[in-house]
Chain A
Amino acid sequence: MAAIELRNIVKVFSDKRRGRDLLTLDNINLDIEVNDFVCLLGPSGCGKSTLLNIIAGFEQATSGRTLVDGKQVERPGSDRGVVFQQPTLMPWLTAIDNIAFHLKLKGVAKTERHHRAMEFIDLVGLRGFEHHHPSEMSGGMNQRVGIARALLMNPSVILMDEPFAALDAQTKLEMQEELVAIWQKRRCTIVFVTHSVDEALVLGNKIVVMTRRPGRIREAVNFDLPRPRDITSPEFNDAKRHILALIREESTRLAQAS
């Protein structure tokens, strides 16, 4: 059984002010296997974040079925950990309390919460910062808290919506390496939304290339280059060339259509 099954997903946004409907996702079918690291790659406005929000349960598909672990998705829940584009931490809580927030909601006692959260503080390399508030930490550190918070729930899947887009190039590289290390260590299923071809190729073992509005799946590319990946190797560049060709083909088609 696949970790996530998307069947004929269609999403139409109704633009009430202009009195017309906008087809955002057009018949998406996708199976994501357990322990896959899937990158949803596409230009902005292609509906990749909408697709992620549908899996998260934040938005409802206009039609189609979304199954996570064989169960229909109806609302957000702790079986799907979400890492947002902005860290979206509770600003009044310290790093450790943000990470353990799920346990607090479940009524776990404070010492037990902190004890269990420390494992994740260590995992994302934030020891020494556990009692800092989000306003006292950098964007990268806050995003680490966001990742740790999602991991602590031990979800079946982790959904990440361009989590490194707001970080500087250096921090982004570090975070990508750490994310791969965490994924290898903990064996989890990750769906990662990005608009960067390089980021998708560094992270994913399956890259789903989406087309511009309406969002469709152009091709799902399996990419099993061993890790750590050398971004200058011929294999990496072959895959990059292939994906760039898919994207270019798409823009040419659009240019001719208009």
Chain B
Amino acid sequence: MTSVTDVSTAGPAFRLTRAFQGLERLIVPALLIAGWEAFARSGMLPPALLPAPSAVLHALGDWVFGFDETTQTYSGHWLRDALASALRVFGGFALASALGILAGVAIGWSRLFEKTLEPTLQMLRPIPPVSWIPLAIIWFGIADKPAIFLVFLGAFFPVLMNSIHGVKTVDHNLVRAGAMMGANGRQMLTDIVLPAALPSIFAGLRIAVGSAWMLTVTAEMVAVKSGLGYVLWDSYYFLRYDIVLAAMISIGLLGYLSDLGLKAIMARTLRWQQTTTVQGRAG
């Protein structure tokens, strides 16, 4: 006897559906790009103001590989620019993660830190990181430091908030179970509270890495003379919208890759959680 599932998984109709399923997510982007290309070529706007996707790709290609110097001084310098931005993101993000987790766990775990440290930090939190730019420039000058400082400000608070939340919402019974098995204060923190708070801490890190990219680019537009954000802003002055768009694509791509990297670390660290998440069940 052949069951219904046998037919649907082995038949040619199924294979066709499978192939279509792989493609269906490409339909909307493909239509958008085709529409954009057609609109740009129609001449309704000057090509300098709305470059076609093909022109953007050309600019990006030359920026990366330097084949025909379309991008002039930037030709072939993409790696250098991307690396400059990535190092600032990494520096600020690492600093923000370390201090955010430390302060968040301290505030979540101890009443003393909650009372002394938290009000000040919560008062600083609503101030947009960008508004620190004038001070950052007088303190640190025009170089890497103000950018790292801004990235730190943008990444610190999401890590802090999620660490506090993670520690505060640890299942009370797990703490009881730990006390029952003889955990002392330090073990309670390192062996029970910290692992239990990790999912929440990772959620904070993922938000933070996004903020980190946003702020690097912002800082590079005003306070630094290198990196993807600087190229973007500089090209805007020369009305090179193809390079502006190529820079935007680069930032989006690198931000996406950093998130993927973080997700991979998270999947390894939180392996125990995977079977319980919706994503784990589906895949």
Q: Interface range on chain A: under 10, 10 to 19, 20 to 34, or 35 or more?
A: 20 to 34
Of residues 87 to 105 in A, which have CB atoms within 8 Å of B's CB atoms?
A: 88-93, 101-102, 104-105
CA gap between A149 and B180 in the complex, in Å: 11
**What 1/0 mask marks residues of chain B from 179 to 199 whose CB sits below 8 Å from any chain A CB?**
111111001000110011010
In angstroms, how far is the closest chain A Cβ from the Cβ of B278? Answer: 13
* A196 adjacent to chain B (CB < 8 Å): no
Tell which of B177, B192, B195, B276 has the most Cβ of chain A within 10 Å: B177
User: Any chain B CB within 8 A of the CB of A75?
Assistant: yes
Find out whether the CB atom of A90 lies under 8 angstroms from the CB atom of B176. Answer: no
Give, as a whole number of angstroms, the nearest-CB distance from A160 to chain B.
Answer: 12
Interface of B is mostly: helix
| A78 lies within 8 A of B272 (CB) | no
Q: Mark A191-216, 1 if CB is under 8 A from B, else 0.
A: 00000000000000000000000000
Q: Please state if A88 and B171 are interface contacts (CB–CB under 8 Å).
A: yes
Known: A76-B176, A88-B176. A101 touches B181 (CB 8 A): yes
The contact size tier of chain B is 20 to 34
Q: Give the chain A neighbours of B270 by CB distance below 8 A.
A: 92
Task: Please state if A80 and B272 are interface contacts (CB–CB under 8 Å).
Answer: no
Among A77, A84, A92, the residue within 8 A (CB) of B182 is A77
The 8 A CB mask of A65-92 against B (1 = contact, 0 = none) is 0000000000111101110101011111
Given contacts A90-B174, A90-B195, contact A81 B180 (CB under 8 A): yes
User: Across the interface, which residues of A come within 8 angstroms of B181, CB to CB?
Assistant: 78, 101-102, 105, 149, 153
Does chain A have a CB within 8 A of B275? yes
Q: What residues of chain A lie closer than 8 Å to B179, measured between beta carbons? A: 57-58, 75-77
Task: Give Cα A105 to B188, complex, Å.
Answer: 9
B273 at interface (Cβ–Cβ under 8 A)? Answer: yes
Instruction: Answer yes or no: A135 CB below 8 A from chain B CBs.
Output: yes
Q: Given A84-B173, A84-B177, A88-B177, A106 and B273 touching (CB < 8 A)?
A: no
Secondary structure dominating the interface of A:
loop
Interface string of A140-164 (1 = CB under 8 A from B): 0000000001000100000000000
Q: Is A119 an interface residue (CB 8 A)?
A: no
Closest 4 CB pairs of A and B: A76-B179, A78-B182, A102-B181, A135-B276
| 18 A/B residue pairs, CB under 8 Å, sorted by A | A58-B179, A77-B182, A82-B180, A88-B171, A90-B174, A90-B177, A91-B196, A91-B272, A92-B196, A92-B273, A101-B191, A104-B191, A105-B183, A105-B191, A133-B272, A135-B273, A135-B275, A136-B275
Listed in ascending order, the chain A residues whose CB lies under 8 Å from chain B are: 56-58, 75-78, 80-82, 84, 86, 88-93, 101-102, 104-106, 133, 135-136, 149, 153
